[in-house]
Structure 1
Amino acid sequence: MPSGAWHDGTVTAPLTPPHQPQPNDPWQATPSGSHAVPGEQPGDERRTEIRQGALIAVVLTVAGLALGLLWLWLAPRVPLVSDDTAVFLKNSESEEAIGADGTFVLLGLAFGLVTGAAVFLFRRRGGIPLVVGLALGGLLGSLLAWGIGTWFGPTSDVVAHAKEVGKGVTFDAPLELHAVGAAILAWPVAAMIAHLGLTGLFGPRDPEPEWDVAHGTPYAAGQQPPGAGGATPYQQWPDKRGEQNS
């Protein structure tokens, strides 16, 4: 039956399908939760994000050189002394032994906050490839910084170093990490938290869904369309079959 025709004293309204996004709509939501740039297809945007994520991972890995040099410069030294038979801590009650770990963790947190904010300002949106590149780059950068600090720091051959300096002469212990897990993960965890927080606060928002009503007529706030609120069509349109039969 054609839509809108009379039948048994009732009238039916034409059904209007819900609003469907057009296939060529440049601002429709993408699977990553962001909006596509006009003229850029979702597949092209995904490949762009993957390339940017790989670039971020490489840049952050190279930035680990700076972290390692800062750790080597700022970390407190542990003084040792030898008596020709053994090597001892010069001050057994000092806290320099844990100072190297604390310095590395604080530097990693600072690098994570800065790099997470920088990646957000670079892209100004979220995306799984960007977060993966940020986490991977921070992890590799921390490992590189650890290697730089231990390689260019005091020698790890304590016995040879003690024999070289002589009896009763103070020398520095090797630069080491005792809480390796916490120190290595400080940078990537801080970077992801900073990036996700900035994305949630200042990132783009998905548009509100648009719903069409019958005949395309919008209803004002508080006004209900026919049939809403539990009412049936026969309550909105009185039955006139009895009048016709009489």
Structure 2
Amino acid sequence: MGRIDRSLGTAVQMAMRLIYPPRCLGCGGLVETDFGLCAACWSDTPFIGGVVCDGCGLPLPGGQRDETAHCDECLTYPPIWTQGRAATMYAGQARKLVMALKHGDRHDIVAPAADWLAEAAEPLICQGMIVTAIPLHWRRRVMRGYNQSALLSRAVAKRLRERTADLDLIDQPDLLLRTRATASLGSMGREERHSVLSGAISINPRCRDTLEQRPVLIVDDVMTSGATFSAAAAACIAAGSGPVSVLALARVGKAS
């Protein structure tokens, strides 16, 4: 009976693929696997590799892949968190995917993005780590209908558990609360962003006991100046967490 069920399931999957063939996440063209990118869109997605800044994940020229290095900005303004990584640069197809996830209700992007994030997060992961998300203010959450960062954090936690079965990760996307609505940061400079976001994020009272002395990984869709991550990390550290690391799907490049 089990063999018949498996055969029927395979037949159904094949029929569904004929009716709904896999499409590229970027351009909608035909691809071989679900949740994939075609060759053109893949080449237009600036994945981060090689030597990166240990603080913010920005790619750095030269050096050895495993060396610990920091960009000029992280040396000038050391982040409050311990380590940071990003999966892609915020450009090309990566920017389009982030915008589609954030504003276009494209939840199908979460699964492949989680794979990219899990790979980028490998140097950050440690036993007992809480995986959480940058929160939205409740009004923005109601308007959008979902928090894209929470979708990413949950998927990343699942991928990391699949990669390391004995890893004691805690999936807690509601660890943080956005206690104050803030204006759009798009046109603001670094100092103004940090000023606006200072104190705007706090710990969910229901999660405070879980947090004590535990390392935390905070996930967001985009890192620009790091102001949002700073506010979130500060809240965790003030509440008695262990070391805090940050992870972004896309890293905005610094102006030359």
* TM value normalised by structure 2: 0.24
* TM value normalised by structure 1: 0.24
Name the larger-Rg structure.
Answer: 1
More helix by share: 1
